Amino acid sequence: MAAQTLYEKLWSSHVVHEEADGTALIYIDRHLVHEVTSPQAFEGLKLAGRKPWRISSIVATADHNTPTDHWEQGILDPVSRQQVETLDANIREVGSLAYFPFKDERQGIVHVIGPENGATLPGMTVVCGDSHTSTHGAFACLAHGIGTSEVEHVMATQCLLQKKSRTMLIRVDGQLGQGVTAKDVVLAIIGKIGTAGGTGYAMEFGGSAIRSLSMEGRMTICNMAIEAGARAGMVGVDETTIEYLEGRPFSPKGEAWEQAVAYWRTLKSDEGAQFDKVVELKAEDILPQVTWGTSPEMVTTVDGRVPDPAAVADPVRREGIERALKYMGLEPNTPITEIAVDQVFIGSCTNSRIEDLREAAAVAKGRRKADSVKRVLVVPGSGLVKRQAEDEGLHEIFVAAGFEWREPGCSMCLAMNADRLEPGERCASTSNRNFEGRQGAGGRTHLVSPAMAAAAAVTGHFTDVRQLG
């Protein structure tokens, strides 16, 4: 048989039916559900008198709207509360494999709890009404975000209508420098290929630098495949994958584990498999990254400067940069390290796992939040991450540094709860999107790694974390 890419293996093992024009019905193994994109789907199902096809595929949690402090007060915003209570009622009625409601010890961001509970397993198709579902591709899953109509479609049929994507390999070889993290790698990739560079592609990340990353790092990279335009990002299975999954609550046990692992080891691109496109980066060339604009592709290195639109010939691009600088309140040619921040956010489905918190704590240890910084939020990705961080004493480091240690949730990544920027405030954020208004109307977001966010918190401006020592 011809050499196959990982994507082709995942695709062909899930085709239920194919139309003449190539539109296929793809079977869905895991359906992750949260409160924002599901109520209309549950309602549609009910109105049509349809039953969910396989409730044991559903893992649900409330994360987008939930507050990250004063849990004893419940959810104060009545509209947010209604949405979370609607999910409670829907899951109660319909059922699920697992539900981690607000305040549950295993509640958290849907893309953190899936993997940490072993509910995301190699070889699965994983969908969720959330674009960052690409995260789960780190486990050699075919994982991508869907809209609410498709949430309803998956509930009713356990399938999705899909067309096969083209394949892209992003190969990062070499050794990452000290202080350079998975977040810097993925921002560098987006900077290179652009936010539409991966449109129409399923993106596989490979090469020795990717192999050397932990599962947390791989999840950070796959999480932002969507920011490069690719609905799905993925990494092939290796020992790191298998070690991470062993013993997780929903991971197979005993004989089933052995059987699963034997299959999972085949879930990588074959030697000589052909991709439609290959992009290569050298790990040694990647420096800590900071975005300066209102799209993740508007990114440079920490030693760089804000670009000058006058130097750009293409009028659509030039106007885009001008508009972004105006929104961001930045002058052309300003050194990145001279940009001061008002708030710092460490969290989100991109960077809220234990390794991210360790990286931030390593920088925060023995230092204090700069007086000019109003607030530093540290929001763990889940209750389990929070507990582990507390077991390791990380929360004490953050609190001693003047950072706020919060309860888990999506928080200021998209500011659906009370955590948000005020108009004009500037934030160093470990999240995934720097769009206008993303962290609050008029807020200005700069995307960075957890270590770079902590460095900005303690110095008050962007600082090369490698020089902090």
Partner 1 sequence: MNPFTKLDGLVAPLDRANVDTDAIIPKQFLKSIKRSGFGPNAFDEWRYLDVGQPGQDNSKRPLNPDFVLNQPRYQGAQILLTRDNFGCGSSREHAPWALEDYGFRVLIGPSFADIFFNNSFKNGLLPIKLDAAEVDELFRQCEANEGYRLVVDLAAQTITRPDGRTIGFDIDPFRKECLLNGWDDIGLTLRHADKIKAYEERRRAEHPYYFA
Give residues 327-386 in contact with partner 1 (rule: CB under 8 A): none
Give the binding range for partner 1 (CB under 8 A) out of 34-42, 174-182, 282-290, 399-407. Answer: 34-42
Residues 80-99 that bind partner 1 (CB under 8 A): 80, 82-83, 86
Structure tokens belonging to residue 401: 């540094």
Cβ proximity of 347 and 380 under 8 Å: yes
Show Cβ contacts of residue 441 under 8 Å, excluding neighbours closer than 6 positions: 423
Give the helix ranges, DSSP H, for 105-202.
Answer: 110-116, 148-157, 182-193
Contact code string over 55-74 relative to partner 1, x by CB under 8 A? -x-------xx---------
Minimum gap (Å) between residue 39 Cβ and partner 1 = 4
The residue type found at 278 is: V
Minimum gap (Å) between residue 231 Cβ and partner 1 = 5
Minimum gap (Å) between residue 368 Cβ and partner 1 = 32
Output 28 or 360, the one with its CB closest to partner 1: 28
Structure tokens belonging to residue 252: 């197979």
Give the binding range for partner 1 (CB under 8 A) out of 38-46, 206-214, 304-312, 338-346. Answer: 38-46
Output 68 or 463, the one with its CB closest to partner 1: 68
Structure tokens belonging to residue 347: 């969290």
Minimum gap (Å) between residue 362 Cβ and partner 1 = 31
Among 173, 250, 334, 404, binds partner 1 (CB under 8 A): 250
Contact code string over 257-286 relative to partner 1, x by CB under 8 A? x-xx--x-----------------------
Output 97 or 362, the one with its CB closest to partner 1: 97
CA 456 from centroid of its chain's CA atoms: 21
* 252 touching partner 1, by CB under 8 A: yes
Cβ proximity of 45 and 60 under 8 Å: no
Residues 5-24 that bind partner 1 (CB under 8 A): 16-17, 19-21, 23
Give the binding range for partner 1 (CB under 8 A) out of 146-154, 233-241, 342-350, 389-397. Answer: 146-154
Residues 147-176 that bind partner 1 (CB under 8 A): 147-150, 152-153, 156-159, 161, 163
Residues 293-332 that bind partner 1 (CB under 8 A): 295, 316-317, 319-320, 323
Distance separating alpha carbons of residues 36 and 314, to the nearest angstrom? 38
Minimum gap (Å) between residue 303 Cβ and partner 1 = 26
* 142 touching partner 1, by CB under 8 A: no
Minimum gap (Å) between residue 119 Cβ and partner 1 = 10
Among candidate residues 262, 243, 466, 461, the one with its CA nearest the CA of residue 342:
461
**Three-state SS string across 426-445, please?**
EEEECCCCCCCCCCCCCCEE
Give the binding range for partner 1 (CB under 8 A) out of 33-41, 104-112, 337-345, 382-390. Answer: 33-41
Tally of CB atoms within 10 A around 285: 11
Among 59, 62, 91, 124, binds partner 1 (CB under 8 A): 124
* Pairing, β 125-128 against β 142-145: parallel
Minimum gap (Å) between residue 326 Cβ and partner 1 = 12
Show Cβ contacts of residue 214 under 8 Å, excluding neighbours closer than 6 positions: 240, 244, 355
Give the binding range for partner 1 (CB under 8 A) out of 51-59, 174-182, 273-281, 378-386. Answer: 51-59
Q: What share of the chain is helix, strand, coil (3-state, %, to 5)?
A: 40, 20, 45
Residues 405-444 that bind partner 1 (CB under 8 A): 414-416, 423, 433, 435-438, 441-442
Q: Residue 255: which region, alpha, beta or left (left: phi > 0; alpha: psi -120 to 50)?
A: alpha
Distance separating alpha carbons of residues 41 and 46, to the nearest angstrom? 9
Output 172 or 232, the one with its CB closest to partner 1: 232
Cβ proximity of 462 and 448 under 8 Å: yes
Among 3, 71, 175, 200, binds partner 1 (CB under 8 A): 200
Output 23 or 175, the one with its CB closest to partner 1: 23
Minimum gap (Å) between residue 414 Cβ and partner 1 = 5
How many residues sit close enough to partner 1 to count as binding (CB under 8 A)? 82
Structure tokens belonging to residue 149: 């109509």
Residue 104 burial class via C-beta count within 10 angstroms: exposed 0-12, middle 13-18, buried 19 and up: middle
Q: Is residue 39 within a helix (H) or strand (E), and if so which, with residue range?
A: helix 39-47
Minimum gap (Å) between residue 20 Cβ and partner 1 = 8
* Pairing, β 30-33 against β 58-61: parallel
* 199 touching partner 1, by CB under 8 A: yes
The residue type found at 153 is: H
Structure tokens belonging to residue 428: 């160093």
Helix axes 354-364, 383-391, angle to 10 degrees: 40
CA 394 from centroid of its chain's CA atoms: 22
Output 106 or 132, the one with its CB closest to partner 1: 132
